[in-house]
């Protein structure tokens, strides 16, 4: 089941670049894929690091290391970035962050650490690094899921647009989000 959702998210990421007609690494733009499978909601998020922090390389000093820690903390608190309808009774299950600039101890929550998942760092060789994140939520009443408010723009103002693709029990959909139009609805 988990492997199937991960495959769906990967397929959506690969299809997303061509569906929206841009390269994977475009400053100001991120990609988000949401898959609802049973009681689980998996959100895949891919963005150039420059949309989240002021650089796309390993931190060089304490100020930059603190900026990375602040970014990782904000992303690990995914329940503040993705707001589900209260009736759905969704809770954050896990967060996995992958990027060169995030130290292994910052890249996963306790749940992933206990399961033994590893942080796999990666970045383009040309100094353009991306962050890949996977957020998993469990909902007690998934029938109440009809939308998600995406508040990630408030946390990261350099992010201007999110190109989202959804796979829900009601079908598939592509949506462009901005700070003013920030709801995924299906």
Interval 34-48: pLDDT, tens: 999 999 999 999 999
Write out residues in the chain with pLDDT < 50, as ranges: 7, 10, 12-22, 110, 112-125
Return the beta strands (E) in 75-170 as ranges.
82-83, 90-98, 130-139, 147-150, 161-168
CB 131 within 8 A of CB 46: yes
* DSSP letters for 83-110: E--GGG-EEEEEEEEE-TTS-GGGSB-H
Residue 112 confidence (pLDDT): 46
């Amino acid at each position: 089941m988990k492997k199937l959702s991960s495959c769906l998210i990967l397929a959506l990421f690969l299809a997303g670049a061509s569906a929206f007609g841009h390269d994977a690494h475009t400053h100001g733009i991120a990609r988000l894929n949401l898959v609802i499978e049973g009681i689980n909601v998996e959100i895949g998020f891919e963005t150039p690091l420059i949309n989240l922090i002021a650089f796309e390389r390993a931190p060089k000093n304490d100020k930059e290391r603190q900026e990375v820690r602040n970014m990782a903390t904000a992303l690990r608190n995914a329940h503040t970035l993705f707001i589900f309808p209260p009736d759905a009774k969704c809770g954050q299950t896990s967060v996995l962050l992958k990027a060169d600039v995030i130290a292994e101890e910052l890249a996963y929550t306790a749940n992933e650490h206990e399961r033994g998942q590893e942080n796999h760092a990666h970045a383009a060789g040309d100094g353009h690094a991306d962050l890949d994140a996977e957020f998993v939520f469990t909902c007690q009443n998934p029938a109440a899921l009809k939308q998600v408010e995406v508040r990630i723009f408030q946390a990261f103002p350099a992010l201007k647009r999110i190109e989202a693709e959804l796979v829900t029990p009601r079908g598939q959909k592509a949506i462009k989000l901005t700070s003013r139009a920030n709801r995924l609805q299906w």
